[in-house]
Amino acid sequence: MQDQKLAKQLFKKSKTARYERFGRFLCLCALLLIMAIVIGIILFIATKGMSTFLKDHISMKDFFTGTLWNPGTKTPDGHAAVGALPMILGSFLVTILAAVISTPFAIGTAVYMTEISPKRGAKILQPVTELLVGIPSVVYGFIGLSVVVPFVRNVFGGSGFGILSGTFVLFVMILPTIVSMTVDSLKSVPTYYRQASLALGATKWQTIWKVVLRAATPGILTAVVFGMARAFGEALAVQMVIGNASLMPHNLISPASTLTSVLTAGMGNTVMGSMQNDALWSLALVLLVMSLLFNLLVHFIGRKGAFSK
C-alpha cells in the first residue's frame, strides 16, 4: 500500500536538515570559543605568573610574606625583595573598608527602594543607580584625584593619597552594585512574609529588620561579595588616588599600593622576560585567583541560601 514516490520524498534528507546541522554546529563553535578564551586566560596568566617561582626561583614564602617590593634587589637580610604583602594588604584593606562603609548605605537605599517608597524607588533611585554604575572608572579616578584627595588632605592631613582616598572612591563605585543586587533579593522575599508580620502587630521597621532582611540575607551577602570582588579588581580609579608607594600600609593617609595599582603602573616599565616583569605577572595571578575565589564564595552562599535568585 506504500506509495513509493511518496516514501522516497519523505526519506530524503532535505536541505533543511543539512542547514539545521550546520547552523547548530556554528553556534556550538561560538560557545566553545568563549570557553576556550576563559581557559586560555587562566593558562596564560598562570604560566606567566608561576615563572617567578619556577624560572626565577623566588620562594613563595618571600613572595607572600616579604614586605619589601623592589624586584631585582635584595632585602637587608638577604631575601629577594619580591614581597607582595604590602600590595595584598593594600588590596584587602581598601576592599574591606569600602565594603564596610558601603554596605549600610547600600542596604538602606535598597530597603527604601523596595519597602518604603517603591514608586519613588523605581522612578528616581533606579535610574540613579544605573547612572552610577555607568560612570567609567577613569572618571571616578579623576574625581578622586581632584576632589577626594584634596579633601582628605585638608581634613585628615598627609598628602591626601592613600588607603582612605581609595576607600572613599571605591565606596561610591561599589555602592550601586550592592544596591541593585540587594534590591533583587529583597524583591524576591514573598509578600506574605511582610503581610503576616504586620498582621501580627509588628511595626514597619520591625518587619523590615526581623523578617525581610533576615530572609534576604543570603542574597545580600552575595551582593556584598560581588561588591567586594569589584573593589578588589578595580585598577585605574584606585591607582589614581592610592599614591603607589610599595610600602606596607601603616596608616590610612600615607601613600600605599594595591595589586592592581602596582600592575597598572609597573607593567609598562619592565622588560618582558625579566624577573621584574615576571614578578608583576605573579601579582596578576594573585588577582586572578582572588577573583575565582570570590566567584566560588558567591556560589557557596547561593547554595546555602533559600531565596537568592
Partner 1 sequence: MNRVQKQSQIAIIVLKAIAGFVVLILAFLIGYIFITGLPNVSWKFLTSPAKAFSSGGGIGVQLFNSFYLLILAMLISLPIALGASIYLNEYAKDNWFTSMIRTSIEILSSLPSVVVGLFGFLLFVVHYNFGFSIISGALTLTIFNLPLLTRNIEESLASVADDQRQGGLGLGLSKYETIIHIVVPAALPGIISGVILCSGRVFGEAAALIYTAGQSAPALNFGDWNPFNIDSPLSPLRPAETLAVHIWKINSEGIMPDLTQVSSGSAAVLVLAILIFNLSARYIGRKVFEKMTSMN
Partner 2 sequence: MQFDTNNHERFIYHFDPEENDIDMQTKDLEIYYGKNLAMHQADIQFKKNTITALIGPSGSGKSTFLRSLNRMNDDVATVKGQILYKGVNINQPGIDVYEVRRRIGMVFQRPNPFAKSIYDNVTFALQRRGIHDKKVLDEVVETTLKQAAVWDQVKDSLHKSAQSLSGGQAQRVCIARALAVKPDVLLLDEPASALDPVSTSQLEQTLRELKPNYTIIIVTHNMQQAARLSDYTVFFNLGEAIEYNKTRKIFTRPKIKLTDDYVSGNFG
Which residues contact partner 2 by CB under 8 A?
1-3, 6-7, 9-14, 16-17
Among 41, 60, 100, 196, binds partner 1 (CB under 8 A): 41
Q: Which is nearer to partner 2, 11 or 192 (CB)?
A: 11
Q: Does 155 bind partner 1 (CB under 8 A)?
A: no
Q: Does 211 bind partner 1 (CB under 8 A)?
A: no
Q: Does 233 bind partner 1 (CB under 8 A)?
A: yes
Q: Which is nearer to partner 1, 220 or 229 (CB)?
A: 229
Binding at 45: pick from partner 1, partner 2, none (beta carbon under 5-8 Å per type): partner 1
Nearest residue to 95 via CA among 275, 308, 297: 297
Binding at 109: pick from partner 1, partner 2, none (beta carbon under 5-8 Å per type): partner 1
Q: Which is nearer to partner 2, 13 or 119 (CB)?
A: 13
The rounded distance, in Å, linking the Cα atoms of 46 and 288 is 9
Q: Does 128 bind partner 1 (CB under 8 A)?
A: yes
Q: Which is nearer to partner 2, 12 or 119 (CB)?
A: 12
Binding at 44: pick from partner 2, partner 1, none (beta carbon under 5-8 Å per type): partner 1
Binding at 1: pick from partner 1, partner 2, none (beta carbon under 5-8 Å per type): partner 2
Q: Does 29 bind partner 1 (CB under 8 A)?
A: yes
CA dihedral over 210, 212, 217, 221, signed as positive or negative: negative
Within 288-307, the residues that bind partner 1 by CB under 8 A are: 288, 291-292, 294-295
The rounded distance, in Å, linking the Cα atoms of 37 and 40 is 5
Nearest residue to 281 via CA among 78, 41, 86: 41
Within 264-283, the residues that bind partner 1 by CB under 8 A are: 264-265, 267-268, 272, 281
Least Cβ distance, residue 205 to partner 1 (angstroms): 4
If binding means CB under 8 A, how many residues of this protein chain bind partner 1? 84
Cβ proximity of 102 and 175 under 8 Å: yes
Q: Which is nearer to partner 2, 13 or 57 (CB)?
A: 13
Within 96-125, the residues that bind partner 1 by CB under 8 A are: 104-105, 108-109, 111-113, 116-117, 121, 124-125
Q: Does 236 bind partner 1 (CB under 8 A)?
A: yes
Q: Does 6 bind partner 1 (CB under 8 A)?
A: no
Q: Which is nearer to partner 2, 5 or 119 (CB)?
A: 5
Binding at 62: pick from partner 1, partner 2, none (beta carbon under 5-8 Å per type): none
Cβ proximity of 222 and 305 under 8 Å: yes
Q: Does 209 bind partner 1 (CB under 8 A)?
A: yes
